[in-house]
Structure formats: C-alpha cells, structure tokens
Chain A
Amino acid sequence: MLQLKAPLVDLNSFVFRGKTSVPLEDPSALDSTDKKQLRMVGVDVESTRAGTFLQFDHAPVHCSSARAGVEVLGIQQALERYAGLREYFWRAIDPQADEFTQAAFQEPLHGGYYIRVHPGVRVTEPVQTCLFIKGDGVGQNVHNIVVVEEGAEVHIITGCATAHGVNSALHLGISEFYIKRGAKLTFTMVHQWGKEVAVRPRTVGIVEENGVFLSNYVLLKEVRSVQSYPTIFLNGPGAVARFNSVIVAPKGSHVDTGNRIVLAAPGTRGEIVSRTITIGGTIVARGEIIGDAVPSRGHLECKGLILGEGGIIHAIPELRGTRPGVELSHEAAVGKIAQEAIEYLMARGLDEEEATATIVRGFLNVEIMGLPQELRESIDATIATLDSADAM
C-alpha cells in the first residue's frame, strides 16, 4: 500500500533561521485576521486565561501568567533560569528516536514553552499556547515542557496554525509532559495548517502515581502531512490516561496519527478513542495499549467514516499484554453514514446537507472533550463548513 506511506519531507527545503518577530507586550494588539486564525485553534487573546504563550515562526513573542503558581516561560528562558532543566529536557524522549527527532535535536531550537504548575495549584481557566507559522517556507523547531507538580491541576490548550496565505511549512515539535503524583493535566491540541504544511510532532508523557492525563486532539482542515504518535507512560500505580482524537482528512491530506499508552504500574487504566473522517484524504489511525503490569486495563476504540470517493482509512489498533491478568480490548470500525439516518432527519425537515452535517457532528462527538464553549463553537462552525457535498 504505497499511498499509505507518509509523504517524504525534505528538511533542506525549509528555512530554519532568521524568522523572528518583535515581542508582543499586549497580544490583543494582534491584527484581526491573525486573531481570527488563533481563535479557530482555541487561542483567544481577549478572554481570561491562566496564562498565555505565543510563538511566531522562530521565536516566542509573548509569555504571561495571570495566576500565582503557574509559570509560563519560553523554553530558552527556562533552560537558562533552571540550569538546563536537567530533570526534564530530553528526558522522556530519546534524541535518536527517529529522523525527525534527530533533526529537532540538531537544528537550531526556536523556542517552545515551559509550563510548570506548582504543587497543589488547581487552575480553573485554561493556559493557552500557540505555535504560529506566519512565513512561507518556514521550518519551525520547538521544544515544549510541561510539569504539573503533585496534586496540581491544569488545562492547557495548544493551538497550532499557519497564518492566512502560508502555503508550505514544516513544524517539528518535541513535547515532554511530566505529571506528578495526584496531578492532572488536560491537554487540548487543535491543529489548523495549510495545504502544503508537514507536521512532525514527537510527544512523550510520564504520569506518576494517581496522576491523570487527558488529551484532546482536533484536526479538521487540510494539511499535507501529519505524522505523530504521542506516547504516555503510566509509571505510577493508579495512573490514568485518556486520548480523544477527532480527525478529518480532506483531499490532499495525509494524516498518520495515533496514541500509545503503556500501562507500566499496577492499577493503571488507559483509553484511546478516535473518530476519523476522510473526504478524499488518507488517514492511518493507529493506537496501541501495552499492558506491562497487573492489574491494568485498557480500551481502544477507533471509528472511521469514509465520505465521498478516493479517501482511505487504515485503522491499526494494537494491543500487547506481557503479564497474565492484563485486560485489554479494542473495537474498530470503518463505514459510511447510514442512508436511513439521513432520511430520518430529512423527514424532520433537514435537507440532505444539513442532515449529513448533523450526523457527522454527532459522529465526531466533540462534546465529550468538555472544551470551553467558545472553542467548541468554533469547532462546530468548522465542522459545519466541511465540504460534504459529495459525501454521499
């Protein structure tokens, strides 16, 4: 299956130097098209957030925290302040893991964020971060570190987007998450890239005893190629991880993505749920749960819809148990919208397009992510504009 291979990315065809913008003291001064673009990926510089980090191309332009006990810094700043972040920097991820991780290690580091939530601090408003590519042909190389200390709780919304008019770009991103005892991290990532943008994030998280990691991933718009496989190690007893992904691949998109959970301690639980729709694009929907300790439990669910012609969904759910007593299960389905369901809604007065959009919205079920209202509304609006005209 040749077309299932992620498109080749030539590192040399992107600019890794020189694209820095002036710092932005007041992000609400951004121009309105940029603001609109950011709002669509959940980054709202005008609403209350516990903290904000903005990066344009090759440099951070804004870091601020509005809450005691929440640190938001650029990664370089944090490396200086904390003597190289020896406990965290390149600790969860092996620099040699693959070609793109190596590239991220070797190319100049452009920034990324360091977010630390102090012990016991529970933040109600989200912290927002944005990695924005404004220049055509830019190669962006960021490194993010999130540390949620014991008993702390935070929701981070990360929006990744390209500015209006950016055609081609490459995003390399290393993210390392450290969730300490009894801490909880909800990490919501919304991607909205351009037609010729390649994206190679590499993400690993480590969860200690009774820690909780919840991840939401939303990708609804066209992108040349995304290839990612975030992995979470549940290293402490009682730790929990859950991934929800909602992915739409229009024609021209190649999205190879999945999640891996390693149940490495007794009493750990993991769940991976993905909803994918192809409208002519290719989706490889992966997922792997590894049960290395008992008792442990994991469930993987991937459901795909093929709308229109030419799209491919390749679901690859994998389970690996290495101890007697692990409980792992999965369900996978690739199908279509039932004609019966469309006609049911048409009998209530919805035309075919409205009916299809309603069913698609239900299928993607963004509701379960529990996102802030304005982000949910913006996602709903995007879903409503999906080109499902030839969906039947």
Chain B
Amino acid sequence: MLRIENLHVRVGGKEVLRGIHLVIEEGETFILFGPNGSGKTTLLMTLMGFSGYEVTEGRILFKGEDITHLPTYERARRGIGMSFQRPPTIHGLSTRSLVQLCARGRAVDVEALARRVHFEHFLDRDINAGFSGGEIKRSELLQLMAQEPSLVLFDEPESGVDLENMALIGRTVRALLDKTIDPSPEMSMRDLRRRNTTSGLIITHTGYILDYVNADRGQVLYQGVLCCDTRPTRPRDILDHISKYGYKECIRCFN
C-alpha cells in the first residue's frame, strides 16, 4: 500500500527526516513512536504533500505509484486521508457541507455518520470554529468516514481527549480501519469487495489507541530516522520498552 524509500525532508531550512525506510502493507496498521521533535508529524505532513515539507532525497510510493511530487489533492483522491491535529477554522463553511465535500459526489448519509461520533448537533457550525480538542477529533473522523481513504494517517488520536471520548474515538478509528462503516445508503458489490483494505499509520505517545485497533507493527522515530527494527516490533512491546528504558535505548540501535 505504502512504500517509503530513503526519504529525506527539509522543513524551515532544517533536515528533519534523514533517510526513512518504511513499508505498510494493505490492511496493516503501523504505529509510530518517538520523542517530541523527532519528526513524526513531519513524516505525515510530507506524505500528504503539504507546502513547506521539501523532499530532498528518496521517494514515496502509494499503491505502486510514485507520488513524491503529486499535489495534496491528488494524493487524497488516490486514497490517502489524514486527521489533523490543529485544523484551521473556515468561516461560512458548515461542517455538514465539508463532510459532503469529502465524499466527492458519492451519496453519503451525513446525519447517520455524524451520529456515530455524536456530532449531529455540530453539523451546522462553521468547521472547526471554536471546536474543543475532543470535538476536533470527532470532526476529523467524521470527515474521514465520508472520505473513505484506503490509508489513514492519524496524528495522536488521544491528545486532548477524555476517557469517555477516547472509547468513542478508538472504536471509530477501528471501524474506519476495518471498513465496517457504511457511509452510503446502500452498499454495492463493489463496495463490499473494497472492504478490509484500509491501512493505518498512527502516531501515539501514550498508546491508548492500542486498546482499540489491531496494530501489527510499530517503530520508533528518533532524530529523523526509524530505529528498533531489529527489536520486537509489536507496538505494545515497544511501548513497554520505552516506558522502562526511555528513548535513549534508541541511540544504541544506531551503533
């Protein structure tokens, strides 16, 4: 599904990613750990193709196609979807309209999708206007449900979310990855066949999201490179390891 080869990325004149190699298979969920400032968000932003993230070396393949220099919307249309941490407010654009736009002409039952994330009372609000941290998460998930991506990029799904909402968000992310959301009023055979093909790339510090999703593999991003690929790569084990020994272990991996 996704193949990243020797990716080097500069942001604001600084080389933040320094040779990333990563493969995420179809239907696989990959967990990305790493200390603050290690470049996790940068990796997601680069995958989405935002301005300011300059690829200086290497390439990104998605479904076998080199997308390294494709514009953001082309990546979205090919099936990459991202949940934003701090999305901008757009005045005069209702949440409902944006969710509709995410579906790109496909018939979606916006109300029904909104109910899944308890967001039906927000549909007429301008998108992100005064949304709380937890509300932003639900709004982002709602948009992704309508968008139906085949690769979901999720930056810290648990940040700013209370325990109750964590369960809601965890279950929704799970449903998104398992393709058990049925956004269209009736599902065709084509849609049924498309099931079980969603991959995920999730950044987490706390690992709460692991209680909800079937994460197959994980790695630690440290100073712009992925390490620990010789260690156990089960996300839980990595998390245990980090909480016991901290990230300094990662330095050892380099040597």
Set of chain A residues within 8 Å of B72, measured between Cβ atoms: 343, 346-347
User: Does any Cβ of B come within 8 Å of A322's Cβ?
Assistant: no
Q: Given A349-B73, A349-B76, A351-B73, check contact A363 B102 (CB 8 Å).
A: no
CB distance from B142 to the nearest CB of A (A): 12
The chain A residue with its CB closest to the CB of B102 is A348
Set of chain A residues within 8 Å of B234, measured between Cβ atoms: none
Assembled-state Cα–Cα distance A341/B91 (Å)? 10
Contact A347 B76 (CB under 8 A): yes
Set of chain A residues within 8 Å of B92, measured between Cβ atoms: 361-365, 367
Assembled-state Cα–Cα distance A330/B59 (Å)? 51
User: Does any Cβ of B come within 8 Å of A344's Cβ?
Assistant: yes
Q: Given A344-B84, A362-B126, check contact A350 B91 (CB 8 Å).
A: no
Contact A350 B82 (CB under 8 A): no
Assembled-state Cα–Cα distance A364/B48 (Å)? 29
User: Does any Cβ of B come within 8 Å of A2's Cβ?
Assistant: no
CB distance from A347 to the nearest CB of B (A): 6
Contact B91 A344 (CB under 8 A): no
Assembled-state Cα–Cα distance A66/B43 (Å)? 65
Assembled-state Cα–Cα distance A340/B81 (Å)? 16
Name the residue among A347, A355, A365 with the largest chain B CB count within 10 angstroms: A347
Q: Given A338-B88, A359-B90, check contact A348 B71 (CB 8 Å).
A: no
User: Does any Cβ of B come within 8 Å of A358's Cβ?
Assistant: yes
The chain B residue with its CB closest to the CB of A364 is B92
Q: Given A339-B51, A359-B93, check contact A352 B88 (CB 8 Å).
A: no
User: Does any Cβ of A come within 8 Å of B199's Cβ?
Assistant: no
The chain B residue with its CB closest to the CB of A363 is B92
Contact A358 B76 (CB under 8 A): no
Give chain B interface residues in 48-73, CB to chain A under 8 Å.
48, 50-51, 71-73
Give chain B interface residues in 165-189, CB to chain A under 8 Å.
none
Q: Given A349-B73, A349-B77, A362-B93, check contact A341 B88 (CB 8 Å).
A: yes
User: Does any Cβ of A come within 8 Å of B232's Cβ?
Assistant: no
Set of chain B residues within 8 Å of A358, measured between Cβ atoms: 90, 93, 101
Contact A344 B87 (CB under 8 A): yes
User: Does any Cβ of A come within 8 Å of B11's Cβ?
Assistant: no
User: Does any Cβ of B come within 8 Å of A345's Cβ?
Assistant: yes
Give chain A interface residues in 341-392, CB to chain B under 8 Å.
341, 343-352, 355, 358-359, 361-365, 367
User: Does any Cβ of A come within 8 Å of B143's Cβ?
Assistant: yes
Q: Given A359-B93, A362-B93, A362-B126, check contact A348 B88 (CB 8 Å).
A: no
CB distance from B178 to the nearest CB of A (A): 22
Set of chain B residues within 8 Å of A346, measured between Cβ atoms: 71-73, 76
Set of chain B residues within 8 Å of A361, measured between Cβ atoms: 92-93
Set of chain B residues within 8 Å of A365, measured between Cβ atoms: 91-92
CB distance from A81 to the nearest CB of B (A): 45
User: Can you give 17 A-B contacts (C-beta < 8 A)?
Assistant: A344-B88, A344-B90, A346-B72, A346-B73, A347-B82, A347-B84, A348-B76, A348-B102, A348-B143, A349-B147, A351-B71, A359-B90, A359-B93, A361-B93, A365-B91, A365-B92, A367-B92
**What residues of chain A have their CB less than 8 Å away from a CB belonging to chain B?**
338-341, 343-352, 355, 358-359, 361-365, 367
Q: Which 6 A-B pairs have the closest CB atoms?
A: A362-B92, A362-B93, A365-B92, A346-B72, A349-B76, A346-B73
